[in-house]
């Protein structure tokens, strides 16, 4: 079986292996041999600029990026390139970087005017984009390519470095370390820059096959990586590159999010329909919370302790109370005009509460996102209450 990530240009879908029948994955438990095919989409399809409060989401079917929020009268649809797939925001410079999967380009958007400033060629089928806000460097990887494009945000000059196929890019701004994880590779490659500003491979870390979700705690110098191969969460010490803990979680752990202040990590288990709650200090599983069907995206609001999980096959968002590790509310993403939504990611404005929130949900297909004003809410004791 071919286990390469395939990019479908019709739906911007990322297919996780050909079927992810787990009997074919090295080291996978035999009990899950009949696990059906699954698909995971880019979690970088939307983001909120914390400095301005504006929300941005790719609209692949229209070749645009939607901008919603402060300073905008309604929604602005910014024309980029063909099939914009992912974006990253530099809140310090108010620039939004968008990879156009169909055009092989990167669009640079001025967040003040919500207009494209420049378009840069980055090679065929770009997939991931990430930005280091401290150095103002942007990193782009492409499907089926071992090259990474590094762009100087001050001049928009681009360089390429052969660093291996990268399906995720995670950046430690403080240490200027850029981690590249490839689903097919057993190595986590680390980039930095030389004193003269050239991109440089600083080393690599052995993580095993099928690394997928990543998160970083810069204050502690710890990198968290989910590994599909054996359903585990790895904790890696940035200073040594050593794996200091391997924690069993649920099947197909596809995403991880952190609440460093509470010493918590939350792992989305796509095939187990659950979230594993990890005590990052003791490095043990505290609880396993059942959510909806085929969860994918996750967002954590450290200010409220609420965790939001997008359930792609049950058209819902599970809201977990971090103080109890219980479901506090379930929101349905179906609406009167869209009765078959498939939410795969969620972002929430900081400080949102159960009764007063601003939430955006990424949907597979077209439209590619929904806003909370369009979402009906289902809660124990209440039904069909409109989202705020």
Q: Where are the domains of the chain?
A: 39-162
Cβ atoms within 10 Å of 245's Cβ, excluding its own? 17
Would you state the pLDDT for residue 10? 30
* Percent of the chain residues topping a pLDDT of 90: 64
pLDDT band at 246 (very low <50, low <70, confident <90, very high): very high
330 pLDDT more than 90: yes
Tokens of 58: 């790719």
Q: What is the pLDDT of residues 72-118, one digit of tens each?
A: 457 899 999 999 999 999 999 999 999 999 999 999 999 999 999 99
How far is C-alpha 129 from the geometric centre of its chain's CA atoms? 11
In the chain, the percentage of residues whose pLDDT exceeds 70 is 81
Query: CA-CA distance, 332 to 312, in Å (whole number)?
Result: 11
Compute the average pLDDT of residues 343-371.
80
* Tally of CA atoms within 13 A in the half-sphere of 154 that contains its CB: 4
Q: Which residue do the tokens 């599983």 mark?
A: 285
Mean residue pLDDT across the chain: 83
Q: What pLDDT is attached to residue 70?
A: 58
* Separation of first and last alpha carbons in the chain: 47
Cα 59 to Cα 93: distance, rounded to the nearest angstrom: 23
d(CA 250, CA 294): 12
The reported pLDDT for the residue numbered 219 is 96
CATH 2.40.30.10: does it fit domain 39-162? no
**Cis-peptide into 289, omega within 30 deg:** no
Question: Residue 55: CB partners within 8 Å, gap ≥ 6?
Answer: 46, 47, 48, 49, 66, 67, 68, 69, 347, 360
Give the count of beta carbons closer than 10 Å to the beta carbon of residue 110.
15
pTM: 0.85
- For residues 166 and 180, the answer to whether their CB atoms sit within 8 Å is yes
Mean pLDDT of 121-146: 94
Alpha carbons 267 and 310: distance in angstroms, whole number: 13
The neighbouring-strand residues paired with 310 are 317
């Amino acid at each position: 079986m071919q286990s390469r990530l395939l990019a479908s240009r019709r739906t911007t879908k990322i297919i996780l292996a050909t079927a992810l029948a787990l009997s074919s994955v090295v080291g996978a438990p035999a009990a899950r041999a009949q696990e059906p095919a699954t698909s995971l989409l880019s979690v970088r399809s939307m983001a909120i600029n914390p400095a301005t409060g504006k929300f941005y989401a790719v609209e692949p079917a229209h070749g645009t990026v939607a901008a919603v929020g402060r300073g905008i009268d309604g929604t602005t649809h910014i024309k980029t390139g063909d099939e914009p797939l992912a974006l990253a925001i530099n809140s310090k410079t108010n620039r939004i970087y968008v990879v156009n999967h169909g055009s092989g380009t990167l669009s640079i958007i001025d967040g003040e005017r919500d207009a494209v400033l420049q378009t840069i060629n980055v090679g065929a089928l770009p997939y991931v984009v990430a930005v280091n806000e401290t150095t103002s460097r942007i990193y782009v990887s492409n499907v089926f390519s071992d090259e990474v494009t590094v762009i100087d945000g001050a001049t928009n000059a681009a360089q390429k470095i052969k660093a291996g196929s990268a399906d995720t890019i995670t950046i430690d701004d403080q240490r200027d370390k850029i981690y590249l994880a490839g689903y097919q590779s057993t190595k986590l490659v680390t980039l930095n820059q030389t004193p003269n500003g050239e991109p440089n491979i600083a080393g690599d870390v052995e993580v095993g096959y099928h690394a997928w979700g990543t998160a970083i705690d810069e204050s502690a110098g710890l990198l968290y990586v989910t590994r599909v191969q054996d359903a585990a969460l790895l904790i890696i010490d940035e200073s040594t590159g050593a794996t200091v803990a391997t924690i069993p979680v649920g099947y197909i752990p596809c995403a991880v999010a952190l609440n460093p202040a509470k010493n918590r990590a939350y792992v989305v288990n796509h095939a187990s329909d659950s979230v594993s709650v990890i005590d990052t200090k003791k490095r043990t599983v505290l609880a396993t919370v059942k959510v909806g069907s085929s969860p994918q995206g996750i967002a954590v609001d450290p200010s409220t302790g609420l965790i939001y999980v997008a359930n792609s096959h049950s058209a819902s968002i599970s809201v977990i109370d971090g103080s109890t590790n219980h479901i506090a509310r379930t929101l349905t993403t179906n609406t009167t005009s869209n009765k078959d939504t498939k939410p795969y990611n969620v972002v929430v404005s900081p400080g949102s509460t159960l009764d007063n929130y601003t939430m955006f949900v990424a949907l597979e297909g077209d439209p590619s996102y929904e806003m909370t004003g369009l979402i009906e809410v289902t809660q124990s004791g209440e039904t069909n209450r409109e989202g705020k």
